[in-house]
């Protein structure tokens, strides 16, 4: 159908345009023809092909032309690192809370790899003031048409031909825009102290280009230093080792090469407490004691991680507890993990998020996906290692194995909800390695790379002989690819070479694992002893009408999560039954956000209107997308409250981070 459609569209344009224009636009028409679906085509092929349709064609045309400039190596970047690659960036930033802008000077240090007289970078929403060489020679530059969400291609003319092997430093003076997609500028009333504003960034996947002109692809890794000036009362933190602070200016140094998505900055009125020899926890004063208690075991996790993966290479490992609008559980910014305050459960039950972020110090941060189609190499490996390290903290070997398998089963449960519930099993975004041409990585984000990826590694581990051999392989892989980026094919080749005598690997259907949509082709034989009690209780819940705290009093917080998630996957319970379950199992007054989130979803599913106030207050008080997005999607399916959900979103949108507003608009069908 696609071929017929594409040929028909080409024929149609040929009949409409003059031969001269058709010849000029031919290659663009071919791209458009391959991208448009049949329903869009019918708009173009209607008999009264109006002026507005022609205008629309030219608008699409120039956008497709601009998108055609995206790199063949990374579908999310315009840059051309194969020509000249950034090795180091020196940044000078001035934080202006009044105007909500960063004023910056970036010295980009390149190694030229191919003869060239041009450098191409990614920018989004930046105001460029000047571009010059180190000797002050001004350079000409051009910013191409803006492609929504991808930004623009910035082409810099060097004036002279540079040859392979030469070094080149380009100085760019610029300003960010108040709407920079990587930055959230918080008003004082969005902070705990309510007195000072706050700034934080989220560059993953492709938002660094809204903070500085760069090669915004994880194929490129660079070291950086920075000098950041902010008003007196504020502390500036970055994804780097913090140096001295003089005259409102703080110095930073990151001497391990990082991809652009790991650049990070936070500026607020902050306090800190020591957690261990290489760790501080930072937050506003109001959260600092709770944070220091919740994350007190950080050094223990770091040591367990080092036992598995080798020495921690980043020097410092600090935590920053952000204001509630931070959109993720955690972000693995090097030297300084960013975390949501929803982790402050008061029982250390969300320590797995900290272990996850620590494991990124090896997988993701040292060994990095080449582009976001291979995101599973970051996240699947990290989840896999997180569960190994989590288990290694349990003294009893049999219990450790049971616990590892239990957490894998929880992951499988989330994967199943994502694939069978939310995305649909034929959705191409359920492939382990999706095609991201024309797809923004934020639109592709789901649990799939995390859980399908880690499950695949567990399948391989079982196949090659278990943890003893596979742990050795992991260390070899990490050593080989550290400070580099790779793709899925390179991983496969490395594994097959490493285990070259192992016949079991001949049975792996690589194509199915990497490129089939839906659930994984094979599910490992996990130990179900910790889910058994939950499965039995679920059966009882659907039969019995009465509940007692005795049913769950021996459950760990994660078994409680397992139970609620099981109920989410089943038919909605009648309201009265759900209410008495909530009272008996004391979920109504839980402090654990993982439990509250699932409980509120169950209440929505049972259409309990009396819980709506609590539901809206939960989504308005914190912005962790893992919670907020499924709740809004559930509310959208409840027709009677759909408009209320949309109104609530629109009212709160101005206080959300870019990525939250962007994805929620789609979840609520307010944008495509």
Q: Please list the active-site residues.
A: 357, 450
Task: By CB under 6 A, tell whether 104 contacts ligand LTRB2CHR.
Answer: no
Q: Which is closer to ligand LTRB2CHR, CB of 45 or CB of 427? A: 427
Least separation in angstroms between CB 486 and Zn ion = 17
Q: Report yes or no: 463 and 508 within 8 Å, Cβ to Cβ.
A: yes
Tokens 């045309």 locate to 61
Beta bridge partners of 268: 235
Task: By CB under 6 A, tell whether 449 contacts ligand LTRB2CHR.
Answer: yes
Task: By CB under 6 A, tell whether 434 contacts ligand LTRB2CHR.
Answer: yes
Least separation in angstroms between CB 441 and ligand LTRB2CHR = 4
Q: Which is closer to ligand LTRB2CHR, CB of 221 or CB of 402? A: 221
Q: Which is closer to Zn ion, CB of 67 or CB of 339? A: 339
Residues 596-635 that bind ligand LTRB2CHR (CB under 6 A): 624, 626
Stretch that binds ligand LTRB2CHR, among 218-226, 324-332, 459-467, 546-554 (CB under 6 A): 324-332
Least separation in angstroms between CB 28 and ligand LTRB2CHR = 27
Task: By CB under 6 A, tell whether 329 contacts ligand LTRB2CHR.
Answer: yes
From the number of C-beta atoms within 10 Å of its C-beta (0-12, 13-18, 19+), residue 50 rates as exposed
Site size toward ligand LTRB2CHR (CB under 6 A) is: 16
Contacts of 268-271 spanning 24+ positions with Cβ under 8 A: 268/191, 268/196, 268/198, 268/199, 268/200, 268/234, 268/235, 268/323, 269/193, 269/195, 269/196, 269/198, 269/233, 269/234, 269/235, 270/234, 270/235, 270/237, 270/320
- Cα 134 to Cα 167: distance, rounded to the nearest angstrom: 11
- Cα 524 to Cα 507: distance, rounded to the nearest angstrom: 15
Question: Two tokens at 484?
Answer: 């580099």
> Regarding beta strands 336-339 and 318-321, do their DSSP bridges make them parallel or antiparallel, or are they unpaired?
parallel
Task: Give the other-Cβ count within 10 Å of 195's Cβ.
Answer: 11
Task: By CB under 6 A, tell whether 224 contacts ligand LTRB2CHR.
Answer: no
Residues 202-221 that bind ligand LTRB2CHR (CB under 6 A): 204-205
Contacts of 570-577 spanning 24+ positions with Cβ under 8 A: 570/538, 570/542, 572/602, 572/605, 572/606, 572/607, 573/541, 573/602, 573/606, 574/606, 575/606, 575/607, 575/608, 577/545
Site size toward Zn ion (CB under 5 A) is: 2
Q: Report yes or no: 549 and 580 within 8 Å, Cβ to Cβ.
A: no
Q: Report yes or no: 16 and 49 within 8 Å, Cβ to Cβ.
A: yes
Q: Which is closer to Zn ion, CB of 192 or CB of 454? A: 454
- DSSP code of residue 145: P
379 annotated among ligand-binding-site residues: yes
Q: Give the one entry of ligand LTRB2CHR, Zn ion, none that residue 329 binds, where binding means its C-beta sits below a cut-off of 5 to 8 angstroms depending on kind.
A: ligand LTRB2CHR
- Cα 387 to Cα 381: distance, rounded to the nearest angstrom: 10
Residues 355-384 that bind Zn ion (CB under 5 A): 379, 382
Stretch that binds ligand LTRB2CHR, among 181-189, 276-284, 325-333, 492-500 (CB under 6 A): 325-333
Q: Which is closer to Zn ion, CB of 198 or CB of 450? A: 450
- Which of 461, 429, 459 lies closest to 447, judged by CA? 429
Among 225, 442, 608, 634, binds ligand LTRB2CHR (CB under 6 A): 442
Least separation in angstroms between CB 357 and ligand LTRB2CHR = 8
Q: Which is closer to ligand LTRB2CHR, CB of 96 or CB of 379? A: 379
Residues 482-501 that bind ligand LTRB2CHR (CB under 6 A): none
Least separation in angstroms between CB 40 and ligand LTRB2CHR = 25
Among 151, 324, 411, 441, binds ligand LTRB2CHR (CB under 6 A): 441
Q: Give the one entry of ligand LTRB2CHR, Zn ion, none that residue 150 binds, where binding means its C-beta sits below a cut-off of 5 to 8 angstroms depending on kind.
A: none
Task: Give the other-Cβ count within 10 Å of 63's Cβ.
Answer: 17
Residue of minimal Cβ distance to ligand LTRB2CHR:
329
221 annotated among ligand-binding-site residues: no
Q: Which is closer to Zn ion, CB of 290 or CB of 626? A: 626
Least separation in angstroms between CB 560 and ligand LTRB2CHR = 18
Cα angle vertex 335, ends 201, 281, to 5°?
A: 85
- Cα 541 to Cα 334: distance, rounded to the nearest angstrom: 45
- Cα 460 to Cα 453: distance, rounded to the nearest angstrom: 11
Least separation in angstroms between CB 527 and Zn ion = 25
> Regarding beta strands 222-229 and 84-96, do their DSSP bridges make them parallel or antiparallel, or are they unpaired?
parallel
- Cα 245 to Cα 251: distance, rounded to the nearest angstrom: 6
- Which of 278, 227, 285 lies closest to 251, judged by CA? 227
- DSSP code of residue 87: E
Least separation in angstroms between CB 343 and ligand LTRB2CHR = 9
Q: Give the one entry of ligand LTRB2CHR, Zn ion, none that residue 252 binds, where binding means its C-beta sits below a cut-off of 5 to 8 angstroms depending on kind.
A: none
Q: Which is closer to ligand LTRB2CHR, CB of 213 or CB of 630? A: 630
Alpha carbon of residue 52 to chain centroid: 38
From first CA to last CA, the distance across the chain in angstroms is: 23
Q: Report yes or no: 374 and 360 within 8 Å, Cβ to Cβ.
A: no
Least separation in angstroms between CB 672 and ligand LTRB2CHR = 18
Task: By CB under 6 A, tell whether 174 contacts ligand LTRB2CHR.
Answer: no
* Binding-site entries: 202-204, 327-332, 356, 360, 379, 624-626
By CB under 6 A, name the binding residues for ligand LTRB2CHR: 204-205, 328-331, 372, 375, 434, 441-442, 444-445, 449, 624, 626
By CB under 5 A, name the binding residues for Zn ion: 379, 382
* Binding-site entries for Zn(2+): 356, 360, 379
């Amino acid at each position: 159908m696609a071929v017929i459609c594409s040929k028909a569209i080409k024929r149609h344009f040929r009949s409409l345009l003059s031969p001269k224009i058709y010849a000029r636009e031919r290659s663009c028409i071919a791209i458009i023809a391959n991208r448009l679906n049949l329903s869009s085509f019918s708009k173009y092929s209607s008999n009264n092909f109006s002026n507005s349709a022609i205008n629309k064609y030219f608008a699409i045309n120039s956008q497709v032309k601009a998108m055609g400039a995206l790199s063949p190596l990374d579908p999310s970047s315009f840059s051309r690192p194969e020509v000249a690659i950034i090795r180091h960036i020196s940044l000078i930033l001035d934080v202006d809370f009044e105007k909500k802008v960063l004023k910056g000077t970036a010295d980009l240090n390149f190694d030229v790899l191919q003869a060239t007289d041009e450098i191409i970078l990614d920018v989004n929403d930046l105001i460029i003031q000047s571009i010059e060489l180190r000797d002050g020679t001004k350079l000409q530059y051009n910013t191409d048409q803006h492609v929504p969400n991808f930004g623009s291609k910035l082409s810099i003319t060097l004036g002279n031909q540079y040859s392979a092997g030469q070094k080149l430093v380009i100085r760019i003076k610029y300003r960010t825009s108040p709407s920079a997609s990587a930055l959230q500028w918080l008003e004082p009333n969005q902070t705990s102290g309510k007195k000072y504003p706050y700034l934080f960034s989220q560059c993953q996947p492709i938002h660094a280009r809204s903070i500085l002109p760069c090669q915004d692809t994880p194929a490129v890794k660079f070291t950086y230093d920075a000098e950041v000036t902010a008003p007196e009362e504020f502390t500036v933190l970055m994804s780097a080792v913090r140096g001295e602070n003089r005259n409102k200016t703080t110095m930073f140094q990151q001497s391990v090469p990082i991809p652009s998505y790991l650049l990070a900055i936070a500026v607020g009125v902050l306090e800190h407490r020591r957690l261990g020899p290489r760790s501080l926890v930072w937050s506003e004063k109001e959260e600092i004691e709770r944070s220091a208690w919740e994350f007190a075991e950080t050094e223990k996790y770091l040591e367990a991680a080092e036992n598995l993966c080798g020495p921690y290479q980043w020097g410092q490992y600090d935590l920053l507890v952000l204001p509630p609008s931070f959109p993720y559980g955690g972000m693995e910014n090097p030297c300084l993990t960013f975390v949501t305050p929803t982790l402050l459960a008061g029982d250390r039950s969300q320590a797995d998020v900290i272990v996850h972020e620590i494991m990124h110090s090896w997988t993701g941060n040292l060994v990095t996906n080449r582009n976001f189609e291979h995101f599973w190499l970051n996240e699947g490996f990290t989840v896999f290692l997180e569960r190994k390290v989590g288990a290694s903290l349990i003294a009893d070997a049999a219990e450790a194995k049971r616990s590892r398998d239990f957490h894998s089963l929880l992951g499988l449960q989330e994967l199943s909800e994502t694939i069978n519930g939310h995305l649909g099993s034929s959705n191409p975004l359920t492939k382990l390695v999706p095609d991201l041409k024309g797809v923004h990585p934020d639109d592709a984000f789901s649990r799939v790379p995390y859980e399908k990826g880690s499950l695949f590694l567990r399948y391989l581990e079982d196949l090659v002989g278990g943890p003893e051999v596979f742990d050795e392989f992991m260390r070899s892989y990490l050593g080989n690819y550290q400070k580099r980026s790779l793709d899925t094919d390179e991983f496969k080749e490395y594994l097959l070479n490493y285990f070259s005598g192992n016949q079991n690997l001949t049975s792996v259907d690589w194509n199915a694992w990497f490129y089939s949509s839906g659930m994984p082709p094979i599910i490992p034989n996990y130990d179900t002893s910790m889910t058994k009690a939950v499965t039995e209780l679920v059966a009882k819940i659907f039969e019995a009408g009465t509940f007692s705290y005795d049913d769950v009093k021996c459950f760990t917080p994660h078994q409680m999560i397992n139970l609620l998630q099981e109920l989410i996957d089943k038919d909605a319970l009648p309201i009265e039954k759900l209410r008495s379950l909530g009272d008996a199992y004391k979920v109504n007054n839980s402090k654990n956000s993982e439990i509250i989130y699932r409980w509120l979803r169950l209440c929505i599913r049972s259409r309990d209107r009396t819980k709506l106030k609590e539901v809206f207050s939960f989504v308005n008080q914190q912005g962790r997308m893992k919670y907020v997005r499924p709740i809004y999607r559930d509310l959208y399916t409840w027709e009677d409250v759909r408009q209320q959900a949309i109104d609530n979103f629109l009212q709160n949108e101005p206080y959300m981070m870019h990525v939250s507003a962007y994805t929620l608009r789609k979840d609520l069908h307010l944008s495509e």
